[in-house]
Structure 1
Amino acid sequence: MENPIVKLQQKIGELTETQRRVADYIIKHPLDVAFLTVDQLAGVVKTSTTTIMRLTFNLGYSGYTEFQKGLQENLRNQAAPQTRLEANIKGIEDDDLWGRYAETQIRNIQNSIDLISHDTLEHTQKMILSANRIICTSVRSGLPVAQYLTHGLNRLFGNTSLVVADLSDWVDNVVDMDENDIVIAISFPRYARRIIDLARTAKKSGVKIISITDSYSSPIASHSDIILPCNSSSIAFHNSAVSAMFVADYIISALAIRYPEQTKKRLDKVNAILTDINYHSLN
């Protein structure tokens, strides 16, 4: 049986706002939903049972019961990976701060692996590969991810720039962009208004938007062509960028490995220059 979570991911852009809120809750809490009645789920997400039933119909199920059976089967199939996850953190004491931090980040990364399909990653890479210009943008906790992506993609293709939405006059950066360009926006709570404004404005010019954000109900999701959900939970007060950095690093690595004909020539030139600089600096 096809994974219900993957079906939700694929259909998320076609759903109504209310259905998207239900879908987002299911994606975040699949274990809970697997054992909630339709009335209980409606109460939790504050919607009607009719909305939930229509959502399951849109996904190709005969109703909530069939959808829930698929969810339960999917969770059973994930039992082995979860056991491996538990093995990774075996022996961690409850009062071990370092261990609890590791556990949180491993789960955040696992969550992204579960929510982002191979097809979505493939589409992301092809979109980046075909872009004339790329802008990476973020603020605050997401800024290190935007900086890392900018560095990696610019090293590969030479067409990527960073826009710090809170500081830059981003209008000058996006005014001439078109359907051949993309914006990669990293946005976590509390969501910065200027990132959303940038994405919405660029979208009006046909620019493709890839968003790295915490959920499908994030404010930037409605302006995005591709959504890469990354849990930003931490053990303290802040948004953690670890899972987002994990996804960013994968994208850079996958592009270099899978498309050497588009990346190797430039990388070789850059490496030759850096080697020459290092050689002369030592003499």
Structure 2
Amino acid sequence: MSEEITIPDSFSDLQSVIAQRHGEMSPRLRQIAEFALANPNDMALETVAVVAERAGVQPSALIRFAKLLGYDGFTDMQRVFRTRLTDSMMSYGQRLRALKTSDGGGSDAAGILNHFVRAGVMALEHLEQEVTDEDLDAALEMLAKAQHIFVVGFRRSFPVATYLAYALSHLGRRVILVDHVGGMARQQMQSAGDKDLVLAISFKPYAQETMDLVRLASGNGVPVMAITDSALSPMIPYAEVTLKVDDAQVKGFRSLTATMCLAISLIVALGQRLEGVEWQRQG
């Protein structure tokens, strides 16, 4: 008996279903899934032929993709993408593409600075729209109740991990920055238990060292909170709470503007929550 498919009727449900089924898709369908989530306005507004060309696949593959998700065809799926559109605002992706083709003005250095500033502003606006109160409350609850917090983030994510470890320690949290010095990352995490928390930060192409530690923690029953960039991030299946932040990229270089804003916001909000708890105890 075949498993009954619940057809996603909202964009958030569609994101969740794509993320859940991403691992079982063929390479071509995974390519479409990644294109669809990165370019939802194209999926909403363009014909199947145009979308297929931009995604680098055949139109028939798009139809197979839609049917895999339970829809009758591409048009049926496209209606869900159209629900997320507003007439008054360009999408984050569209605005970034417009920025890439615009003239930064001034000298080369000034033009690059202009691009990064404008891209950072867009990323911050996007962060404000995409991260929900429920996501933040769940993250704060995990940070507040964990006995020990193991912070993991390598390569581009390391500055964020370092800041979070530093700031959490100033809030009186027991923090271990897993820095992998001497190749000792696993040993640094060996004491983590089910009352602790692994706070992992990673962005595409996702550091293998981070993924290994996330899988290890999850396998040992340690709660995981992820800060990452996509509904298709490989960290999401292991995380109890995920905060998604899509930072800007200019000329191949990704900024950390929105990610650091999210990190600082978590710290300030956690400090207020812990202060409130302390007041209640004193009262």
TM category (shorter chain) comes to: 0.7 to 0.9
Q: CA RMSD in A?
A: 3.5
Q: How far does residue 22 in structure 1 lie from its aligned partner after superposition? A: 4.7
Among all aligned residue pairs of Structure 1 and Structure 2, give the percentage whose two residues are the same amino acid.
Answer: 23
Letter in 1 for 2:65: T
Q: Choose which of 206, 227, 238 in structure 2 pairs with 1:191.
A: 206
Gaps of 5+ in 1: 266-283
Matches within 5 A, 1:1-283: 4-11=10-17, 14-17=20-23, 18=25, 22-37=32-47, 41=51, 44=55, 46=57, 47-55=61-69, 57=70, 65=75, 67-76=77-86, 79=89, 94-96=104-106, 97=111, 98-165=113-180, 167-262=182-277
CA distance in 2, matches of 1:64, 1:134: 45
TM-score, structure 2 length as denominator? 0.73
Question: How much has 1:123 moved relative to structure 2?
Answer: 1.5
Distance in 2 separating the partners of 1:254 and 1:77: 33
Relative distance call for 1:130 and 1:8 in structure 2 (3 A) is: farther
Structure 2 unmatched ranges of 5 or more: 1-7
Aligned length: 255
Q: Which whole-Å deviations, capped at 9, do the CAs of 1:3-54 have from their partners, x for residues lacking one?
A: 9443345556533423776554333212111113456556627545233234
Q: TM-score by structure 1 length?
A: 0.73
Provide the rounded CA distance (Å) in 2 between the counterparts of 1:189 and 1:167.
Answer: 25
Cα–Cα, structure 1 residues 51 and 9, in superposed 2: closer, same or farther, change >3 Å? closer
**Is the partner of 2:249 in helix, strand or coil?**
coil
Deviations 1:204-261 (A, max 9, x none): 0111222222223334334333332222443244332211111111211222234533
- AA aligned opposite 2:156: S
- Cα 1:115–1:7 shift into 2, 3 Å: farther
207-216 vs 36-45, which moves further: 36-45
Contact 1:233/1:240 (8 A) holds in 2: yes
CA distance in 2, matches of 1:22, 1:262: 47
Q: Is the 8 A contact 2:48 2:62 kept in 1?
A: no
Partner amino acid, structure 2, of 1:138: G
Give me the whole-angstrom Cα distance separating, in 2, the residues matched to 1:78 and 1:135.
42
Distance 1:122 1:48 in 2: 37
Matched position secondary structure for 1:147: helix
Aligned AA (1:14): Q
* Matches of 2:16 and 2:156, distance apart in 1: 28
Give the Å deviation of 1:79: 2.4
